[in-house]
């Protein structure tokens, strides 16, 4: 068989087609950024107060935080039991993740994740999220400062997944929260209860890796085993009923994710997008738009050098920037890959910067 060298015109045509492909990828990413940013600006700000709201506002995983708090459509996201339990169906090795951050207003947080494959098609994972205040002023009815408290909130997830095809996986996770207000010692004569435990709630998910470029995900969060599937419960503030009880509630959440992978000028580039609907009503389904809060997230990352990645994202109206680097340690004949990540957050509405967010994650073959 004889090989023919390409003519000058054929080489020029290949270069033009290559440039068109890169321009198409850049254009698609730019359009996605515009659409998601416009949606974030136009949507109503999610009012997710109380300690439970920490989970939605702060997320989990420094790598995902640096690209706009996006992670549901990425099979590499950790901890998967939180982001999308269906991701566990794609695990091939034991994985771990650890993150910590210090935010303004003396607020801190972190997460821990452990996950492992079970056989060839199943996976299991655990995640714990921690949020707390370091010095919270306790003020009485006379507007006097009685001291400081360190309230904290934790939420735990136990996730399971089954990969039904090479590209599809379904998952579920059970979640439960625990919070401690740390103020009972300041109130004499009232038997306050500092700690509360929520009932177990259910999260359902699906992820499909369509091809090497596209992936999609759907996650339904905060379902309970009650009549309306609403995660709502009573918090008895005092043991002697001297203080009125309050309701704890988490909105039902529909989260749709989209991932896109490509190469621009020879560099791997990724785009991640999420649209989120919070139903703030104690009903099975509410069709009144006033009972829904919509928001969106968008993130981009580029491997600018081998194993080194830069990230940019937007979580509703909060801007994020991140960076990460992958390491490989050889012990004997095995390599143990892990990566170190950093994220910087600017909360635009509050005018607050968070420069201290770090994370470590890796796999053990």
The more confident residue out of 267 and 12 is 267
CB of 130 closer than 8 Å to CB of 177: no
The answer to whether residue 38 scores a pLDDT higher than 50 is no
- What residues form DSSP beta bridges with 154? 130, 178
The more confident residue out of 361 and 10 is 361
User: Would you say residue 37 lies in a domain?
Assistant: yes
The pLDDT tens digits of the residues spanning 205-229 come to: 999 999 999 999 999 999 998 888 9
The more confident residue out of 199 and 157 is 157
User: Would you say residue 213 lies in a domain?
Assistant: yes
The answer to whether residue 2 scores a pLDDT higher than 90 is no
Assigned token pair, 290 = 């006033």
* Burial (0-12, 13-18, 19+ Cβ within 10 Å), 116: middle
* Burial (0-12, 13-18, 19+ Cβ within 10 Å), 105: exposed
The answer to whether residue 71 scores a pLDDT higher than 90 is yes
Percent of the chain with pLDDT over 90: 48
The more confident residue out of 351 and 202 is 202
User: Would you say residue 3 lies in a domain?
Assistant: no
pLDDT for residue 189: 67
What is the rounded average pLDDT of the residues 278-293? 88
Task: Give the number of domains in the chain.
Answer: 1
The more confident residue out of 62 and 195 is 62
State the SS3 of the chain.
Answer: CCCCCCCHHHHHHHHHHHHHHHHHHHHHHHHHHHHHHHHHHHCCCCCCCCCHHHHHHHCCCHHHHCCCCCCCCCCCCCCHHHHCHHHHHHCCCEEEEEEEEEECCCEEEEEEEEEEEECCCEEEEEEEEEEEECCEEEECCCCCEEEEECCEEEEEEEEEEEECCCCEEEEEEEEEEEEECCCHHHCCCCCECCEEECCCEEEEEEEEECCCCEEEEEEEEEECCCCCCEEEEEECCECCCCCCCEEEEECEEEEEEEEEEEEECCEEEEEEEEEEEEECCCCCCCCCHHHEEEEEEEEEEEEEECCEEEEEEEECCEEEEEEEEEEEEEECCEEEEEEEEEEEEEECCCCEEEEEEEEEEEEEC
Indicate the pLDDT class of residue 39, thresholds 50, 70 and 90: very low
Domain residues for 119?
Answer: 9-364
User: Would you say residue 203 lies in a domain?
Assistant: yes
pLDDT for residue 304: 95
pLDDT for residue 24: 46
Indicate the pLDDT class of residue 92, thresholds 50, 70 and 90: very high
The overall average pLDDT reported for the chain is 82
Percent of the chain with pLDDT over 70: 78
Considering 57-61, 88-92, 198-202, the range whose residues carry the highest mean pLDDT is 88-92
The answer to whether residue 287 scores a pLDDT higher than 70 is yes
Assigned token pair, 64 = 């995902």
Indicate the pLDDT class of residue 240, thresholds 50, 70 and 90: low
What is the rounded average pLDDT of the residues 281-304? 91
The pLDDT tens digits of the residues spanning 100-140 come to: 998 877 788 899 999 999 999 999 999 999 988 887 777 77
User: Would you say residue 196 lies in a domain?
Assistant: yes
CB of 55 closer than 8 Å to CB of 176: no
The answer to whether residue 341 scores a pLDDT higher than 70 is yes
pLDDT for residue 350: 79
pLDDT for residue 142: 72
Assigned token pair, 341 = 């990540």
CB of 89 closer than 8 Å to CB of 206: no
pLDDT for residue 47: 46
The answer to whether residue 45 scores a pLDDT higher than 60 is no
What is the rounded average pLDDT of the residues 6-13? 46
- Cα–Cα dist 229/224, whole Å: 5
What is the rounded average pLDDT of the residues 134-150? 76
> What is the Cα Rg of the chain in Å?
23
| Buried residues in 132-158 as b, exposed as e (16+ CB within 10 A) | bbeebebeeeeeeeeeebebbbbbbbb
The answer to whether residue 46 scores a pLDDT higher than 50 is no
* Burial (0-12, 13-18, 19+ Cβ within 10 Å), 104: middle
User: Would you say residue 189 lies in a domain?
Assistant: yes
Indicate the pLDDT class of residue 21, thresholds 50, 70 and 90: very low
- Distance from first CA to last CA of the chain, Å, rounded? 45
User: Would you say residue 4 lies in a domain?
Assistant: no
**CATH number of the domain bearing residue 205:** 2.40.160.40
The answer to whether residue 241 scores a pLDDT higher than 80 is no
User: Would you say residue 2 lies in a domain?
Assistant: no
Indicate the pLDDT class of residue 160, thresholds 50, 70 and 90: very high
The answer to whether residue 69 scores a pLDDT higher than 90 is yes
pLDDT for residue 127: 97
- Cα–Cα dist 285/279, whole Å: 8
The answer to whether residue 49 scores a pLDDT higher than 80 is no
CB of 233 closer than 8 Å to CB of 247: yes
């Amino acid at each position: 068989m004889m090989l023919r060298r390409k003519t000058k015109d054929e080489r020029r045509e290949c270069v033009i087609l290559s440039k068109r492909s890169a321009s198409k990828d850049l254009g698609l990413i730019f359009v996605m950024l515009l659409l998601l940013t416009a949606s974030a600006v136009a949507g109503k700000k999610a009012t997710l107060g109380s300690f439970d709201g920490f989970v939605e506002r702060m997320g989990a995983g420094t790598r995902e935080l640096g690209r706009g708090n996006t992670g549901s459509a990425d099979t590499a996201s950790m901890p998967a039991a939180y982001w999308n339990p269906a991701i566990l169906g794609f695990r091939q090795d034991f994985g771990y993740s650890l993150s910590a951050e210090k935010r303004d207003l003396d607020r801190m947080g972190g997460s821990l994740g452990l996950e492992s494959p079970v056989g060839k098609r199943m996976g299991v994972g655990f995640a714990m999220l921690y949020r707390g205040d370091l010095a919270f002023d306790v003020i009485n009815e006379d507007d006097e400062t009685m001291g400081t408290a360190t309230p904290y909130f934790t939420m735990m997830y136990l996730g399971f997944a089954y990969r039904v095809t090479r590209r599809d996986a379904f998952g579920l996770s059970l979640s439960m929260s625990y919070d401690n207000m740390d103020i009972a010692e300041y109130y004499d004569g009232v038997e306050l209860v500092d700690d509360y435990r929520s009932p177990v709630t259910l999260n359902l998910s699906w992820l499909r890796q369509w091809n090497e470029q596209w992936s999609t995900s759907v996650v339904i969060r905060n379902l309970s085993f009650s009549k309306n599937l609403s995660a709502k419960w009573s918090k008895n503030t005092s043991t002697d009923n001297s203080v009125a009880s309050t309701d704890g509630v988490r909105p039902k959440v529909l989260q749709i994710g989209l991932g896109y992978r490509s190469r621009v000028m020879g560099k791997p580039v990724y785009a991640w997008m999420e649209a989120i609907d919070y139903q703030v009503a104690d009903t099975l389904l509410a069709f009144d738009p006033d009972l829904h809060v919509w928001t969106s997230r968008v993130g981009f990352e580029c491997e600018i050098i081998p194993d080194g990645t830069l990230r940019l994202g937007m979580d509703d109206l909060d801007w994020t920037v991140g960076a990460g680097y992958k390491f490989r340690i050889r012990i004997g004949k095995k390599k143990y890959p892990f990566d170190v990540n950093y994220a910087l957050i600017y909360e635009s509405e509050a005018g607050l910067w968070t420069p201290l967010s770090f994370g470590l994650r890796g796999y053990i073959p």
